[in-house]
Amino acid sequence: MQQIRAFEEEVYRLRMVGHIVGSVHLCNGQEAIYVGATAALDLPTDLVFPTYRGHGWALACGASLEAMFGELMGRETGVNGGRGGSAYLSVPEVGMMGENSIVGAGAPIAAGAALASRYDNSGRVTVAAFGDGAVNQGAVHEALNFAAVLELPVIFLVENNHWSELTPITATTTSDRLFKRASGYGMPGVRIDGNDPALVEVTVAAAAARARAGKGPTLIEAMTDRIVGHYIGDAQTYRADGELESALANEPIATLVAKLLFSGVARVTLDEVVADANAAVAKASALAQQAPFADPSTVLEHLHA
């Protein structure tokens, strides 16, 4: 989690000084979902289909720090040769099948990949990860219904950070208990603390086991908070007084550190873990900045439509 956090903090710095351009959506505060979920999966056989807020998913799946930085900076050493950038990158070799900037569009794609597993005998489970705002999208409804009817091995994972971009979930639905929608499709639904990586792992592992046993999909609503804006430059004027301070007090790294200290882990041990993660990120960023930019003349190569 610290490595993902440090990566995003460095991405913010690089964006502010102009080494990264374009729209960037950071995942600070939601790291436990990615780390816990991927720990429960059999990657890269299992596949993850996240949203445009996908840096954390890629890193948790096992993507290279240096190649991720390279991609965001348009370098030829990037995971997609500098073509994907922040919002469209994919790292299929580690099971991260690509971000999607169409809200909710990853859900039907993940259902399709789950359907394919019946024919390639891979035993694959797919994860469709999307935000609370995407639950109201028609494509998500269709994917949930399709997966339930065919009992597909797919996990629908809602990263509920309370904000549909800049709009609270309470303004777009009559009930913010999104996991209850699962019953309408005839699948199990559960709400969990998405800031507890161990709980996320156990929950996703149970859903994956159920899927592999041919019992169909599960909807998991993981409650969390993003401790940054929806995008870099978001003034966050929509937040209520004290909301961000509360989120910072309950974010996953802070709470895990407190638990570990209480259990007897020495502070120096935790400091070393943090220092090692930060050093790895700093080294990867420096190396990526030395790589050549992607050749514009090859921009149409390696693209599929």
According to the model, what pLDDT value does residue 276 have? Answer: 98
Instruction: Express each pLDDT in 214-258 by its tens digit.
Output: 999 999 999 999 999 999 999 999 999 999 999 999 999 999 999
According to the model, what pLDDT value does residue 203 have? Answer: 98
According to the model, what pLDDT value does residue 191 have? Answer: 98
Give the distance, in angstroms, between the CA of residue 162 and the centroid of all CA atoms in the same chain. 15
Given a cut of 80, whether residue 305 has pLDDT beyond it is: no
Q: Report the DSSP beta bridge partners of residue 159.
A: 131, 222
Cα 53 to Cα 226: distance, rounded to the nearest angstrom: 11
CA 193 to each of CA 99, 158, 190: distance values in angstroms, whole numbers, following the listed order: 24, 12, 10
Instruction: Express each pLDDT in 39-68 by its tens digit.
Output: 999 999 999 999 999 999 999 999 999 999
Instruction: Express each pLDDT in 279-288 by its tens digit.
Output: 999 999 999 9
What's the CATH number for 2-234+242-289? 3.40.50.970
Given a cut of 90, whether residue 184 has pLDDT beyond it is: yes
Lowest mean pLDDT among 1-15, 64-78, 104-118, 157-171: 157-171
CB 129, CB 51: distance < 8 Å: yes
CB 36, CB 288: distance < 8 Å: no
Residues with Cβ within 8 Å of 11's Cβ and at least 6 positions away in sequence, in order, are 20, 24, 26, 55, 69, 72, 86
Q: Tokens at residue 22, please?
A: 């374009």
Given a cut of 90, whether residue 169 has pLDDT beyond it is: no
CB 104, CB 137: distance < 8 Å: yes
Lowest mean pLDDT among 105-109, 161-165, 203-207, 211-215: 161-165
pTM above 0.75, yes or no: yes
Given a cut of 90, whether residue 170 has pLDDT beyond it is: no
